[in-house]
Structure 1
């Protein structure tokens, strides 16, 4: 699922660790992306994001590195796991713990590689410890492990599921828009700087169908910010 200083292919790693996906949720249904209106309220207060403590994260093996500059962009990922139909909050938290276990125990990383995680049910969660506090402060970021060459300059968000052949559920899309609106606002990132993992690394991530939606994502985020 991600890279720590350029190690390992995310998709091969996922297949080797579990082969199938895991979970998520918000109980908001499974309709794929339709006529979405960007949530303008998120620009003012920010969406609800569960902290590492809230979803039961393990402690990192060492303190994450803080980078005292604003990130230049947001990178969109998918987990390449199964498109499961458990949209519950409990399932979302379970999935976050599975990702962290994979990254720490299999990859040997200090913590989850991504800064944030978005479930198929639309639940947003902090990924790497201290990323949420950094986002709220708006003046620094935590070094991640989601894309070689971008870990100190881009915020990485994992979207649970595999979007090579299908579009994401509406709930996931809505929470992704809300997250990007808030993150662009906090870090003064132009919506034009919302990119896909494949823009900076040789990978299929974030899937053909989600990648094709990135122009729309930029448009909806820009509309909400304006």
Structure 2
């Protein structure tokens, strides 16, 4: 991807939503799975693995469990490249935009879900907090909800009718199942960004929230 194309992607994201050395990861990787009966935690790549920059300021830990998940979309262009490498670059592009464009301390969202179904940690420390199930990192993804909601960005533009790739949908389900189970969040407490702020985010994903809640509850019941 050229520098000009990266800049265009950042401008496209705008208000809707650095290159450190990337740690070595296997080139052959599988996206997060939501196969029936599969109760394993989904693979989530850490900030270190995708080459995140260090936060500009110390991030705030909230020593309470979050009570909801908020689904977002990035409004970046929909792409045919569904590789792990692209997912990592996408995470770096989002962080650059949020830190350099928005002036935030780090990526605003806690996690990111690529169109290829690869999950990455967004805001530094969010993965460790999720695995503990006891606390969260304060986010910057939804006004009024950043101290109580886990935010996940789904790469792509879904406000213009584009379909959500199946791999991305499956990984979103798997992520929500894991996050609900670790934090004790009911499946009914999965929302879209537009439920709280005046935005088109997460586009068509908002219409599928009842389906998402049902799929997550079904997995939690097993």
Q: Tell me the TM-score normalised to structure 1 length.
A: 0.83
1:202 counterpart = 2:198: yes
Unaligned runs of 5+ in 2: 1-6, 15-28
Structure 1 CA distance, aligned partners of 2:34 and 2:88? 27
Secondary structure of the corresponding residue to residue 167 of structure 1: coil
Q: What is the match of residue 11 of structure 2?
A: 18
Unaligned runs of 5+ in 1: 1-13, 29-35
Q: What is the match of residue 115 of structure 1?
A: 110
Matched length: 199
- After superposition, the CA RMSD in angstroms is 2.1
Q: What is the match of residue 177 of structure 1?
A: 173
Structure 1 CA distance, aligned partners of 2:139 and 2:36? 27
CA-to-aligned-CA distance 1:165-196 (integer Å, 9 cap, x gap) = 12210000000000000000000000000000
CA-to-aligned-CA distance 1:108-133 (integer Å, 9 cap, x gap) = 11100000000000000000000000
Which fold has the larger relative contact order, with Cα–Cα distance below 8 Å and residues 6 or more apart in sequence?
1
Q: Tell me the TM-score normalised to structure 2 length.
A: 0.85
Q: What is the match of residue 154 of structure 1?
A: 149
CA change 1:58–1:37 in 2 (3 A) is closer
State whether residues 27 and 88 of structure 1, in contact with CA within 8 Å, keep that contact through their aligned partners in structure 2. no
Q: What is the match of residue 5 of structure 1?
A: none
1:83 counterpart = 2:81: no
Structure 2 CA distance, aligned partners of 1:106 and 1:16? 12
Structure 1 CA distance, aligned partners of 2:126 and 2:64? 13
Structure 1 CA distance, aligned partners of 2:142 and 2:97? 16
1:41 counterpart = 2:38: yes
CA change 1:201–1:15 in 2 (3 A) is farther
Structure 1 CA distance, aligned partners of 2:37 and 2:30? 22
Q: What is the match of residue 158 of structure 2?
A: 163
State whether residues 115 and 154 of structure 2, in contact with CA within 8 Å, keep that contact through their aligned partners in structure 1. yes
Q: What is the match of residue 209 of structure 2?
A: 214
CA-to-aligned-CA distance 1:11-41 (integer Å, 9 cap, x gap) = xxx98942379xxxx788xxxxxxx975442
State whether residues 12 and 75 of structure 2, in contact with CA within 8 Å, keep that contact through their aligned partners in structure 1. no
Q: What is the match of residue 8 of structure 1?
A: none
